[in-house]
Amino acid sequence: MRIAVIGAGAVGLTVADMLAQSDAVAEVHLFDRQTEAAGGATSYAGASDVPHGWTERHRRLIETSMEWHRAVGADLADEDRYRHRTGTFWRSDDERSDARILGFAYDTPVLTTDARTGARGLLGDGYVIAPGRLARILLGRLRASGKFTARFGTAVEGPAGLADGTVLDASGGRDDFDAVVVAAGPWVTELLADLPGLSGLRTKQVYGYRFTGDPRDPLTGTVVDLEHGAFLFPQPTVPDSYAMSIKCDVYDVPVAEGAPSAEADEAAWTVARTHLGPEARLTARRIFVDTYTDGSIPLVADLSGGRRLVCVSGTHGSGIRLAPGLAREACDLLGVA
């Protein structure tokens, strides 16, 4: 089989890698409109890999992803390790919140209280991922496979032809494939707008922050503050720096960086000062657009009805933490073992 993968973020790179490892696939062509570095998601501060899932499918995605990360990371040198165990502190104020957390945690967190802040919560398993390092590992594996062709800096036109395996690029080039996988970023509505199966895929504004400070919780890993919709975690490749994302319900926005939000800023500062101390300092802020699906359920769908066009999309960063599980589902949908 000769397969095109459109989109070189964490999901697209992982799909391409999994395809290249299959004896059933002879060629993998990876397209991205950005340069190689941008396509490899190296602009991300990092990702919190929190093992939780609120459906059986989420749990299967977690299991597949964890097994893949263990296998790929087993023989990496220290300077190449992209996934680090940190633990996760789920801030919780009452037994009702405890029950909610325990209901979707993959492991069994234990109740704890931080003596310094008095913060009450559940302490469980967790990791942080350095997307840039992951991208370099995957690109190295792809190039070593002998089956890989990179098409960075190539914008793909759509949706005409994609369902039949035809890829047209903005320069006028045309190539035919046995199948096409679209690893969907927020621009997917532009590329595939006229095809069925994407009704639940939307864009959503996300607010990202970078802070320095003195961590005050009983771990140096991820803090999940459900009250403020915040994830705070150490940047995996920048010492003493912490990344935070705030989820605000601003949907169906243009694919462009948006305006600051006073509500998100207030939530970010509250969480930072609580968990990083009163000396917490803001070093960067970015407002960007991510993909979102109804119910926050990652999308893996055959849009052609004949395994010729498969769309894959994570939600709210799950594209990074669940990329191997999503890639496995896409390969299964294509009939690639």
pTM over 0.75: yes
Q: Are 37 and 128 in contact (CB under 8 A)?
A: no
Q: Measured between alpha carbons, how far is 105 from 251 in angstroms, rounded to an integer? A: 27
Residue 77: pLDDT band with limits 50, 70, 90: very high
Please give the pLDDT value at position 216: 64
> 50-70: per-residue pLDDT in tens?
777 778 888 889 889 999 999
> 79-136: per-residue pLDDT in tens?
899 998 888 888 888 888 888 788 777 777 888 887 667 778 888 888 888 888 899 9
* CA–CA–CA angle 290, 335, 333 (5° rounding): 30
Residue 8 has pLDDT above 60, yes or no: yes
Phi and psi torsions of 322, nearest 5°: -110, 15
> 25-53: per-residue pLDDT in tens?
999 999 988 876 544 444 566 777 777 77
Which domain covers residue 65, as residue numbers? 2-334
> For residue 319, which amino acid is it?
G
> 147-175: per-residue pLDDT in tens?
999 998 888 887 778 888 899 888 888 99
Report the domain count for the chain.
1
> 303-335: per-residue pLDDT in tens?
887 888 999 988 766 778 889 999 999 999 999
Kindly provide the residue ranges of all beta strands, DSSP E only, lying in the chain, ordered along the sequence.
Answer: 2-6, 27-32, 47-49, 83-85, 88-91, 110-113, 120-124, 127-129, 148-152, 156-157, 166-169, 174-176, 179-183, 201-212, 222-225, 230-234, 241-251, 281-293, 299-302, 309-313
Residues with Cβ within 8 Å of 135's Cβ and at least 6 positions away in sequence, in order, are: 8, 10, 13, 39, 40, 41, 42
CATH number, position 151: 3.50.50.60
**pLDDT, average across residues 245-271:** 84
